[in-house]
Structure 1
Amino acid sequence: MSIEVHLLGPVELQGDDGPVQPGPAKRRAILAALALEVNRPVTLDRLVGLLWAGQAPASAVANIRNHVAALRGTLGDRIVSRPSAYQLNLEPHELDVAQFRRLAAQGRDALARGEPAGAEPDLAAALRLWRGPAGLGLSGGAELDVLIAGLETDRLRVVEDLADVRLTLGYTDELVPALRDHLTAHPLRERAWAQLMLAHYRSSDLGAALAAYRQAQAALQSQLGVEPGSALTGLHVAMLDRAPQLDLLVRPPAGRSQAGGLEVPRELPPDPALFTGRAGELAAVLAAARPAPGRRAPAVVVVHGPPGSGKTALVTRAGHRLAHAFPDGQVFTEAGPDVSAADLMARVLRAFGVPAAEVPEHVDERIGRYRSLLAARRVLIVVHGAACAGQVRPLVPGSAGSALLVTSRCPLPMPEGVPHVELRVRHH
């Protein structure tokens, strides 16, 4: 019997035939409590303390026994009875928390060995397991809330570990929007403020770096009544002094780096500075294109609307917001009515460093080369100005992990389930 328990987001069970509803909130909380102590016995007294804040009802133990009996209908002998205790037995691959911790530890070990390029895939994979706030929707007691909050603390640490890796690798432009989003949700994270300052500084924007320090200072003063710590103030002074230790020792070539023997294109146009008023449409594109744990199909989004509706600005802003999730490259290519699918395919292959003489002549061979190239990578492809679905259907990646954003003047008959985001011309 195949079982997966997911806690990194809403509490979920996956069985042989797909998702299984764990049941009411208290049952999901019991499942979460047992999973957080996986392969160890959890006493009934401990479960009562985890599940009820304050004075538990007299029926607490009976309620736990009834919910465990119901969970056994799905989990079978994975739940073992011990004297006055229960134990949930799972393999590491059957619990997303265990997978997250394993990948995070591997990434940190690589980083400690001075191998940032080796750390990046594991740290990024750890974060892709998250589907939302841990334990979303649980009605746990105070003690269970503390355990769940600990998972969120672990996630924030990995987010910032990954930012350190990408700073070391020179991905400064992609980091800025990701760190801005992170700090909007967590404005007291001094480590992340330091990373944002460094990302700006290494992008040769000292003014933005110093402005980020002032923003950090204001957030800490207004919410905690304290000044930034020594690490942040020391970084601020070092930037004012243009200290050489702040520079990257090895910088990637402008716009490109090397990975796996192929070029890593960074082709997105500049992030539009005056982009406003499309928050809902932007959120829809990001939600549909951002990698998600358990996604089996590649992400494809079509943004359509008449000339002047802001399609280019929207996909460019979305591309910059998503760039950190697609570290193996971002390709931006123009379609138009006279460009064939074969031409677009050749253009993308060349963007990844395939010499023109080695681009296959036949379209089906080009498609095969393209899908093979993307199979083990996380790549964002943006096709601007598609005239018909036939131009872009061959560019749909063959597996999950990569994403395709398409702009067109009208909706395109794409495969079932591909979302369309419509833009209209705004009149001022």
Structure 2
Amino acid sequence: MDPGPYKQRVLLGMLLLRANTVVSVDQLLGAVWPEGLPRTARKNLQVYVSTLRRIVGDRIRHASYGYVLDADPDELDALRFDDLTARGYAAYREGNLHESRGLLGRAVGLWRDGVLVDLAGNPVIAADAEHLGQRYLAAFEDWVDLEIDEGNHLSVLAQLTGQARRHPFRERLIAATITALHRAGRRREALATFEAHRQLVARELGVAPSQVLQQLYRSILVDGAEAAAPSASGPGRVRPAQLPRDVSEFAGRVEHVNALVETLTGSHGADVAVVTGAVGTGKTALAVRAGRRMAGSFADGEIFVSLRQPDGRPRSVRDVLTELLRATGLDASVPRDEHEAPAAWRSWIADREFLIILDDAVGEDQVRCLLPGNGRNRMLVTSSYRLSGLESVYRVTLDEMTDDEAGELLTGTLGPHRTASGPLQRILRRAGATPLVVRAVSTRLDALRHLSMDEYADLLESAPSVFDELPLGGTPIRERVARVYADLPEPQRRAVRVLGGLPAGPVYWSELVAACSTLFPAAAEVVHRLVEANIVAASHTCAVRYTVPALVRHFAADLSR
């Protein structure tokens, strides 16, 4: 059947991708007209629906707030894929590997091409298609592992190498390809596949292959009878040491480092510590320094995992659990069930002794299911949020540095001859006294060697936006603050914009609430959420007053302007 013109096909594609689910009119309008709604959009949508009904029948029906397309697995391959994979994983959990392999193989066999390739230019369709494609790849990886374990490596090798070429960063595909090649007697090709992957991730991501992949490579080098990765508890196990490089220009925070070390290694300390603070206060650097101090205290090694993707979006718990399991030596599929997966993780490390650093957490829910159970494992979490909902944890809150600490850090990078008589306090009053800012200042002064610190202070005070005069390699400072802002619900984002119009300096709680009360009936709750996100910080100098950290204040002022 011909489903009609492009926008009508987009509408049908949306309903098919979300079959048996009500898709709201607003969602459909946004998908059909992603570039912006014309005045007649709703009327045109009704025409498209009416025309599609004449093509596909009454299975498209109106619901309370949108439309739904009724279908069953015998009619729609995406639904059939879901049904087969669900039954396949159920069989796996029951120990019936033969049935699981057959069902997953049938599910994978349904796949012929990308989803709705003729609509790939539509951003909403493309996002849904990408999500379905990721589910297919996960099922393909699980099926291939079962086939290789059954000895069918030759029959899957062609499909496997093709998928590995299309998805070169999926380590499970690379590991399965290496294993199948080696078992097929193609040892040189297996080693070459690992080396090509090692060079790719080093060049594109600046990282090394996972410990599991490296163990697999070593097992092939010694030409063992099997190409399976060594058992994590066996004598050939490699001890992970994933802590990043410790920064040399580290000033102050001595009490915090000592407290973390004592808490996580002492006999009466906590098993989880949380380091929080506003953007740029040096949470990750503090965690790494404390981790380096404790490295020798954990027999099984140190794990470091970021809880955000490179673009700042939160990582899914399943992705993080997969990385944690592989880092600790278990190359196995993470259970799909949201309760089984954390249980499998805790069971795997129950009798181990790891130091695990979870960097840049977005919220309590992201962290809670990753926490270890009873045992000797210790976890250190960093976050720009207070994570007040986590129970029984040791907490460290980082504020701005003192003038002496900031001076020590700046002198350590620029040298005493450049900073001895400089107006450091003017710079810190304007930009804030966080380690991130001080490092950016030193970078700027190192590049502008013709400027004195006085001249740079003048430049900073006259700049329309502080961020323009605070460069930093990697992620710009403005973008780091923007990530925290983007994570906030809209009421809190509106409140940040209101704060940007207030004069700098501390205020009392009542003044904060009053500033927001014209926008929000529940202004106190909005301000409380800002405190939880370290957008507003308490100051106890004389009475309890509240301040907006300098970087957040400048960001809010830019938004206000």
Q: TM-score, normalised by structure 2?
A: 0.38
For the pair shown, the structure with the greater C-alpha radius of gyration is: 2
TM-score norm. by structure 1 comes to: 0.49
Query: Larger % of strand: which?
Result: 1
Whose relative contact order is higher, 1 or 2, with alpha carbons under 8 Å and at least 6 apart? 1
